[in-house]
Amino acid sequence: MIGDSDDARRAMRLIRWYPRGWRQRYGEEFADHLEQEFAVRRVDYRRSLNVAYKGLVARVDDIGLSPNSVNPAGRTRAALGTSFVLMALMAVFALNFWSWAMILWSARTYHPIPVDATTGILTATTGLLLIVLGFMTLIVIVCAVRQIVRGRGRPLVAPFVFAVGSGAFLYYSVRWLPNMLARYSHMFQGGYRWTHPGPAAYGLAFIAHRVTQPWISMWDPGISGEPTSQAVMNDLAPLAVLVFAVSMAFLVRRVELPRICERHGSVTIVLLSILSGVFLLALVAWFTAGGPMYATFGETGNIAGVAYLIFLAIVTVLVARSGLLARGVQRDVPSSLSFPR
Amino acid sequence: MTTLENPLAGLGRNAGAAILILSSLAGGEKHGYALVKDVQEFAGVHLPPGTLYQVLARLESRGMILALEADERRRPYRLTAQGATVLAEYITAQQRVLQIGQARLKRSWSVA
């Protein structure tokens, strides 16, 4: 039991740099160790910096991106949660990229075959990515609700509230979407021919762009005639996307999932990393093959475009790494121990 | 290089601290603060608390040390057979480097 002396309180403050799992395992003895150090030298800024830095390192270890987690059995869940955050953020950018590519593709009369092929790959990977993420969201939310209803949802309440709140905010920020869909409905019905998918693809891309552009823009000055509240909501949308993704990651780590989902956790991460890798390669090939460059993306520009590409590459590498680590764990740890409840 | 580096490879920049901790535990089980005092005494190195517990956690997860039952809040650690093997191999390799270095210094620079 940790005491309530001044030294004990100082030790507790320093231990907060570490993740929960680490604190549960080493917290008591580490606090005792720190209190003994305080007795010899009360103030030592280098010591405090060392603890803070190592605490942050332990947090990185804890999110499934390092083989050094203190809880190897929980690494697959951690990797799944982290991959969800990274891929959800990437999906927004991917949808935005794809919508631009498709709008520009639709606007051209001549399409070189490589541009057609890469646009098709971008479309397929973006669609699959959204389906996988949507499916994950659905499973996690349903399992979380079931767990809460059964009275075992105490650790889920905070992330659940944040996930639902940020999700509702995002939905409210695009509340004009049903009207827009109704306006473009003629593109999806009557007269639609599979041999000429251009108008429907253009319609989808136009709507996807309208939805995602405020989500990826850090600052939206608003447009003439638009209510100020909408401009404020657009400015808060990137934050809401991040809050939603992080809340979902906490839910992924804490929720009781069906055994089949647990068994396929690492496979899901590998699938996500493959999709992000294919999307990135297709995007680079699209530019190389003659797809319009970012200079034509009036609202982004070359520097932002290169930054997005670097972001996508980092996401791909991190998700692939977490997937490989998770697969390594599933090989090493018996399945009955993989996901302690 | 030699195979003995493999068990310490994942410790990165903390491999030196790991060897100090393994060497200290080779003399008997100790808790964190006793480890720091011992290392300070025989190596003149002060292990900061964050570094100490990072290395303890990694050595424990690799099976080189064993956490024993806590005595109130102080948990002693014990060197395992695997940890002893890694330490012995490391010391043997270092002795070989030491002997070669000394011999070359003596031959080329007449320094013992």
Tokens standing for residue A233: 């909501």
Please indicate, yes or no, whether residues A97 and A218 belong to a single structural domain of this protein.
yes
Q: What pLDDT shows up at residue A338?
A: 35
* Full set of structural domains in chain B with CATH: 3-109 (1.10.10.10)
pLDDT, tens digit (0-9, with 9 covering 90-100), for A238-257: 888 889 999 998 898 888 88
Residue A192: pLDDT over 70: no
Number of domains present in the structure of chain A: 2
Give the rounded distance of the alpha carbon of A7 from its chain centre.
39
Identity of the highest mean pLDDT range in A40-49, A253-262, A300-309: A40-49
Asked if residue A142 belongs to a domain, the reply is: yes
How large a percentage of chain A has pLDDT more than 70?
79
Q: What end-to-end distance do the CA atoms of chain A give, in Å?
A: 25
Q: What pLDDT shows up at residue A335?
A: 39
Q: For residues B6 and A165, which has the higher predicted lDDT (pLDDT)?
A: A165
Residue A125: pLDDT over 50: yes
Q: Which residue has the tokens 């002060």?
A: B46
Please indicate, yes or no, whether residues A124 and A151 belong to a single structural domain of this protein.
yes
Q: In this complex, which of B49, B51, B70 lies closest to A37 when CB atoms are compared?
A: B49
Asked if residue A253 belongs to a domain, the reply is: yes
Residue B67 bridge partners (DSSP): B77
Instruction: Work out the mean pLDDT of chain A and round it to a whole number.
Output: 79
Asked if residue A1 belongs to a domain, the reply is: no
Closest CA of chain B from A303, distance in Å: 35
Asked if residue A68 belongs to a domain, the reply is: no
Residue A49: closest C-alpha in chain B: B50
Q: What pLDDT shows up at residue A321?
A: 84
**Cα separation values, B108 from B102, B104, B112, Å:** 10, 6, 10
Torsion angle in degrees (nearest 10) through CA of A214, A217, A219, A220: -30
Please indicate, yes or no, whether residues A149 and A267 belong to a single structural domain of this protein.
yes
Please indicate, yes or no, whether residues A234 and A167 belong to a single structural domain of this protein.
yes
Residue A308, sorted as left (phi over 0), alpha (psi -120 to 50) or beta, turns out to be: alpha
**Secondary structure string (H, E, C) spanning chain A:** CCCCCHHHHHHHHHHCCCCHHHHHHHHHHHHHHHHHHHHHCCCCHHHHHHHHHHHHHHHHHHCCCCCCCCCHHHHHHHHHHHHHHHHHHHHHHHHHHHHHHHHHHHHCCCCCHHHHHHHHHHHHHHHHHHHHHHHHHHHHHHHHHHHHHCCCCHHHHHHHHHHHHHHHHHHHHCCCHHHHHHHCHHHCCCCCCCCCCHHHHHHHHHHHHHHHHHHHCCCCCCCCCCCHHHHHHHHHHHHHHHHHHHHHHHHHHHCCCCHHHHHCHHHHHHHHHHHHHHHHHHHHHHHHCCCCCHHHCCCCCHHHHHHHHHHHHHHHHHHHHHHHHHHHHHHHCCHHHHCCC
Q: How confident is the model at residue A83 (pLDDT cuts 50, 70, 90)?
A: confident
Distance separating alpha carbons of residues A22 and A55, to the nearest angstrom: 9
Please indicate, yes or no, whether residues A90 and A183 belong to a single structural domain of this protein.
yes
Size of interface A-B (CB pairs under 8 A): 64
Q: What pLDDT shows up at residue A100?
A: 81
Kindly list the residues from chain B whose CB atom is less than 8 angstroms away from the CB atom of residue A72: 61
Please indicate, yes or no, whether residues A253 and A157 belong to a single structural domain of this protein.
yes
Asked if residue A327 belongs to a domain, the reply is: yes
Q: What pLDDT shows up at residue A198?
A: 63
Q: Look at residues B19, B102, B11 and name the one whose alpha carbon lies nearest to residue B54.
A: B11
Arithmetic mean of pLDDT, B46-74:
90
Closest CA of chain A from B32, distance in Å: 6
Does the beta-carbon distance from A28 to B53 stay under 8 Å?
no
Residue B82: pLDDT over 80: yes
Give the rounded distance of the alpha carbon of A235 from its chain centre.
19
Closest CA of chain A from B111, distance in Å: 38
Asked if residue A40 belongs to a domain, the reply is: yes
Please indicate, yes or no, whether residues A42 and A83 belong to a single structural domain of this protein.
no
Residue A184: pLDDT over 70: no
Is residue A323 within 8 A of residue A266, CB to CB? The reply is: yes
| A contact set with B (CB within 8 A) | 1-2, 22, 25-26, 28-34, 36-37, 46-47, 50-55, 57-58, 67-68, 70, 72
Distance separating alpha carbons of residues A210 and A226, to the nearest angstrom: 14
Please indicate, yes or no, whether residues A249 and A134 belong to a single structural domain of this protein.
yes
Does the beta-carbon distance from A29 to B61 stay under 8 Å?
no
Identity of the highest mean pLDDT range in A9-23, A53-67, A202-216: A9-23
pLDDT, tens digit (0-9, with 9 covering 90-100), for A258-286: 888 777 777 888 888 889 889 888 888 88
Q: Which residue has the tokens 């100490």?
A: B52
Please indicate, yes or no, whether residues A270 and A308 belong to a single structural domain of this protein.
yes
The model's pTM is: 0.74
Amino acid sitting at position A76: T
Please indicate, yes or no, whether residues A49 and A104 belong to a single structural domain of this protein.
no
Identity of the highest mean pLDDT range in A1-10, A299-308, B16-25, B103-112: B16-25
Distance separating alpha carbons of residues A251 and A143, to the nearest angstrom: 9
Q: How confident is the model at residue A48 (pLDDT cuts 50, 70, 90)?
A: very high
What is the residue range of A48's domain? 6-60
Beta-carbon neighbour count of residue A340 at 10 Å?
9
Please indicate, yes or no, whether residues A18 and A154 belong to a single structural domain of this protein.
no
Please indicate, yes or no, whether residues A16 and A96 belong to a single structural domain of this protein.
no
Q: For residues A134 and B71, which has the higher predicted lDDT (pLDDT)?
A: A134
